[in-house]
């Protein structure tokens, strides 16, 4: 989330900053813009940047959150380490679909000779395909791997998007899903009918988010054919590695496409 998003709210409410423009800023399409500091003990596992401090990021200006080299934040570093160490994504041949591609990953994945990589985004003109996730221009089972991080909460009808994503992943394939997720909430808190960005900001922490997922997320994914396992960053990485790579309490869902 952008630092200072609360200050943008009046502009959003006034209709002069639309959803596409906000996402262009939020998703760091332009990549890293700031200078790296002195080398130090923190290390970005994506770009290799070492620094004494990372940059502030997010609504509350989280300290040491953003890598000055590649622009990654905590969840990106968790995902990258997970993909490299707990999957064969970087070694085996896969057809990969990446939704709303993060700039810190996109070029690195696209360059892998073992991958046939496609990115899709509703708003980003640099993505391979501009499409809405509830209506994808791909055939059934076109992909072996799906990467989707912090996208589903932006979609009013997320069940339709999940179903469409499951359709294009072949049975036996797998997905990694990341969303705002709080396992202490038994049920997803949502407001798909809320039109007011200020109300969505107040309830979900972002003017274009429709929900914060709870422990029922796995059941929601199961409805469309994704058998999901929740993976907690605190179980995945030692405290030393979490400090070194600046990874906070975070979750990803590893899903197997059943069919
Ligand atoms: Zn980096």
The CATH number of residue 93's host domain is 3.40.50.150
Q: pLDDT at position 25, please?
A: 64
- The CA angle 174-251-203, to the nearest 5 degrees, is 115
Helices (H) and strands (E) in the chain, counts: 9, 13
Of all residues in the chain, the percent with pLDDT exceeding 90 is 81
| 49 CA from centroid of ligand 1 (Å) | 5
| 68 CA from centroid of ligand 1 (Å) | 6
Q: Is 195 exposed, middle or buried (0-12, 13-18, 19+ CB in 10 A)?
A: exposed
pLDDT for residue 90 is more than 50? yes
| 133 CA from centroid of ligand 1 (Å) | 28
CB burial string 238-250: b at 16+ within 10 A, e below: eeeebebbbbeeb
| 184 CA from centroid of ligand 1 (Å) | 31
| 51 CA from centroid of ligand 1 (Å) | 10
Taken as a whole, the chain contains a residue count of 259
Indicate the helix (H) or strand (E) that contains 82.
Answer: helix 74-86
| 250 CA from centroid of ligand 1 (Å) | 18
Q: Which DSSP string do the residues of 143-184 spell out, in sequence order? A: EEEEEEES-GGG-TTHHHHHHHHHHHEEEEEEEEEE-SB-TT
Q: Is 161 within the bounds of a domain?
A: yes
pLDDT digits (tens, 9 = 90+) for 108-157: 999 999 999 999 999 998 899 999 999 999 999 999 999 999 999 999 99
Q: Is 147 within the bounds of a domain?
A: yes
Q: Is 130 within the bounds of a domain?
A: yes
Quick one: tokens of 27? 């998703």
Quick one: tokens of 32? 């890293």
Q: Which DSSP string do the residues of 54-107 spell out, in sequence order? A: -EEETTTTEEEEE-TTT---HHHHHHHHHHHHHSSTTTS-EEEEEES--HHHHH
**Mean pLDDT (whole number) for 184-208:** 95
Q: Is 234 within the bounds of a domain?
A: yes
Q: Is 196 within the bounds of a domain?
A: yes
Q: Is 179 within the bounds of a domain?
A: yes
| 148 CA from centroid of ligand 1 (Å) | 19
pTM of the model as a whole: 0.89
Domains of the chain: total: 1
Quick one: tokens of 33? 């813009």
| 99 CA from centroid of ligand 1 (Å) | 20
Of all residues in the chain, the percent with pLDDT exceeding 70 is 90
Q: Is 223 within the bounds of a domain?
A: yes
Bridge-based pairing of strands 94-99 and 115-121 is: parallel
74 CA to centre of own chain = 11
DSSP state at residue 111: T
| 200 CA from centroid of ligand 1 (Å) | 31
Half-sphere exposure of 140 (CA within 13 A, CB side): 2
Q: pLDDT at position 39, please?
A: 67
| 225 CA from centroid of ligand 1 (Å) | 34
| 166 CA from centroid of ligand 1 (Å) | 30
Quick one: tokens of 50? 């070492």
| 72 CA from centroid of ligand 1 (Å) | 6
| 67 CA from centroid of ligand 1 (Å) | 5
Q: pLDDT at position 16, please?
A: 67
Q: Is 229 within the bounds of a domain?
A: yes
Question: Which range of residues forms the domain containing residue 106?
Answer: 73-257
| 36 CA from centroid of ligand 1 (Å) | 10
What whole-number distance in Å separates Cα of residue 253 and Cα of residue 258? Answer: 15
| 245 CA from centroid of ligand 1 (Å) | 10
Q: pLDDT at position 37, please?
A: 54
pLDDT digits (tens, 9 = 90+) for 9-63: 777 777 767 777 776 666 544 444 455 556 679 999 999 999 999 999 987 889 9
| 7 CA from centroid of ligand 1 (Å) | 27
- The CA angle 31-36-42, to the nearest 5 degrees, is 105
Q: pLDDT at position 52, please?
A: 94
pLDDT for residue 239 is more than 70? yes
């Amino acid at each position: 989330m952008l630092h200072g998003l609360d200050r943008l709210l009046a502009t959003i409410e006034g209709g002069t900053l639309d959803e596409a423009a906000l996402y262009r800023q939020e998703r760091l399409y332009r990549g890293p813009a700031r200078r790296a500091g002195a080398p130090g003990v923190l290390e970005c596992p994506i770009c290799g940047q070492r620094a004494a401090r990372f940059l502030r990021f997010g609504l509350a200006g989280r300290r040491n959150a953003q890598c000055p080299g590649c622009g990654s934040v905590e969840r990106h570093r968790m995902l990258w380490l997970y993909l490299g160490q707990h999957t064969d994504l970087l070694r085996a041949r896969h057809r990969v679909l990446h939704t709303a591609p993060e700039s810190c990953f996109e070029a690195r994945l696209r360059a892998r000779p073992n991958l046939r990589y496609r990115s899709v985004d509703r708003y980003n003109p640099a993505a391979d395909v501009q499409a809405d996730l509830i209506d994808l221009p791909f055939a059934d089972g076109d992909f072996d791997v799906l990467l989707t991080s912090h996208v589903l909460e932006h979609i009013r009808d997320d069940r339709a998007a999940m179903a469409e994503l499951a359709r294009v992943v072949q049975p036996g394939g797998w997905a990694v899903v990341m969303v705002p997720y709080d396992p202490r909430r038994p049920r997803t808190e949502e407001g798909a009918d809320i039109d007011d960005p200020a109300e969505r900001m107040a309830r979900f922490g972002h003017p274009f988010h429709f929900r914060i997922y709870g422990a029922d997320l796995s059941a929601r994914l199961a409805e469309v054919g994704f058998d999901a396992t929740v993976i907690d960053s605190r179980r995945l990485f030692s405290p030393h590695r979490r400090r070194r790579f600046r990874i906070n309490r975070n979750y990803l869902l590893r899903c197997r496409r059943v069919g």
